[in-house]
Amino acid sequence: MSERLFIRLGKTSEHPCSWLVWSEQEQEIIASGELSDAASLSSLTERAGNRPVDVLVPAANMTLTQIMLPEKGQRQALMALPYMLEESLATDVDKMHFVVGPREGEQLNVAAVAHEQMQIWLEWLHNAGLKVKRIVPDCLALPLEQCRWAAMSVGSEYLIRTSEGGGVSLPKAWSAFALPQLLSAAQLSDNESISIASYSDDIAFEGVEINNKPLDLPMMVLAKGILNAPINLLSGIYKPKHEYSKQLFIWKNTAIVLVIAIVLALANKGLSIHQLNNHTAELQAQSELIFKQAVPGVNRIVNMRSQMGSQLRSMQGQGGGAVFFEMLDGLKPAFSKVPELKPNSLRYEANRNELRMQVTAKTYGQIDKFKELVSKDYQLDGGAMNSNEESVTSTLTLRIK
């Protein structure tokens, strides 16, 4: 069917819900509007008819993050994924629904949303008689259009897509503080300029290249992008069940297979338990191997979950994000005056308020000049300098005076 119904839910049941019917064949809007609250979704039941229904939900009601995960042994590592994110989430991971997104190099995109929130959304839709095929975080429906980021103004917030599988919902009241930090962190991470596909006329972010796109209705922009969104929250236990009402004979065959399986399971109970124990031991060994590959230098594993959490806290700075961003902001003048010097890696130790970075320059003089500049504001420990035919590298440790 060429016509689809798109719905964007509000943050709570009292917030408005937007909707649009789009014809893929004609490439035009059939109808659109805004409902006063979630209880009014039932008015769309007749309009939905047999059309596919795709739903956008607020990115502000979930966590979109990235985690470093090696490609080798990824299937086994995904079993430990919730516990690798445990320290960065305020909710018990057993109460969270995790959906894996696309991989970007060594980073794996992950969406985490509370089961309670998923059940609230599904209850709204069920009560309205709407059968949904896709639920997507709204910011991930913004088309990147060959740009690194995409942004759109919606009410009192900015929807910003920061990568193939990442993004944020940023209140405009916070943008003056939070946006420069986001941009600075992204530029320092890979030293690449940021281009933004802008779908609103009030996107005026400083220090980036703005590529203005046609100013269509926000719901039309999102409707065009949702079909290519990399994450569908209707996965795992929330994956829609197929209907077999017209093929009842399948259930008969399934019942026969199930009875045979039960008989075999009872007859081989002892063997199954033995095999299960062996399989558990193999998984434990595989998990430890993956952990050692992901965290070089760890030779002895006593409590993998605890050690994994410790490593994650050390990578994430244990909540010291504000100081970290302040230090990065304070380094801007030095990087500007020595543009030939580039950071290769950054690591922030929150318990010591210490920023370690490895830098590369063309000459010893450039590194010495950079050290002279930053030593005015920071306590600086410089490591040995190593050189090759083309560059000089050094490790610097900075602390706030």
| Same domain? 72 vs 213 | yes
Does a structural domain hold residue 50?
yes
Q: Are residues 73 and 169 in the same domain?
A: yes
**Do 15 and 150 belong to one domain?**
yes
Same domain? For 215 and 327 the reply is no
Whole-number pLDDT of residue 318: 44
CATH number of 158's domain: 3.30.420.380
Residues 49 and 190 both lie in one domain: yes
**Does 396 map to a domain?**
yes
Element (H, E) at 101: strand 96-104
Place of tokens 């490439």: 27
Q: How far is CA 16 from the centre of its chain?
A: 25
Length of the chain: 401
**C-alpha span between 296 and 242 (Å, rounded):** 44
Assess whether 211 and 346 both reside in one domain: no
Three-state DSSP class for residue 374: helix
Number of domains in the chain: 2
Q: Which residue among 241, 275, 297 closes a domain?
A: 241
Residues sharing a CB contact under 8 Å with residue 166, sequence separation 6 or more, in sequence order:
64, 65, 66, 101, 109
Shared domain check, 330 and 212: no
pLDDT at 319: 44
Distance between CA atoms of residues 394 and 359, nearest Å: 6
Flag whether 157 is in a domain.
yes
- On whether both 192 and 330 belong to a single domain, the answer is no
Considering the domain architecture, whether residues 220 and 369 belong to the same structural domain is answered as: no
Residue 258 lies in a domain: no
Strand ranges across the sheet with 107-114: 63-68, 107-114, 96-104
Tell me what pLDDT residue 176 has: 85
Does residue 273 lie within any of the structural domains? no
Domain membership of residue 123 (yes or no) is yes
Do residues 112 and 209 both lie within one domain? yes
Q: Does residue 296 sit within a domain? A: no
Three-class secondary structure of residue 136 per DSSP: strand
Helix (H, G, I), strand (E, B) or coil at 381: strand
Question: Looking at the domain assignment, is residue 105 inside a domain?
Answer: yes
Q: Which domain range does residue 395 map to? A: 323-400
CATH code of 368's domain? 3.30.1360.100
Choose the final residue of a domain: 195, 224, 241: 241
What's the confidence (pLDDT) of residue 245?
43
Assess whether 354 and 223 both reside in one domain: no
| Contacts of range 248-254, beta carbons closer than 8 Å, 24 or more positions apart | none
pLDDT in tens, the chain (401 residues): 578 999 999 999 999 999 999 888 888 899 999 999 999 999 999 888 888 999 999 999 999 988 887 766 566 666 777 878 877 777 788 899 999 999 888 888 999 999 999 999 999 999 999 999 899 999 999 999 999 999 999 988 999 999 999 999 999 988 888 888 888 877 766 667 889 999 999 888 888 899 999 988 999 999 989 989 999 999 989 998 765 444 544 566 777 788 888 888 787 777 778 777 777 777 777 667 656 655 556 667 777 677 666 665 554 444 455 677 788 888 888 989 999 999 888 888 877 888 898 999 999 999 999 999 999 889 998 888 888 888 999 999 999 87
Distance from C-alpha of 20 to C-alpha of 34, rounded to nearest angstrom: 9
Residue 73 Ramachandran class (φ > 0 left, ψ -120 to 50 alpha, else beta) = left
Domain boundary among 241, 257, 272: 241
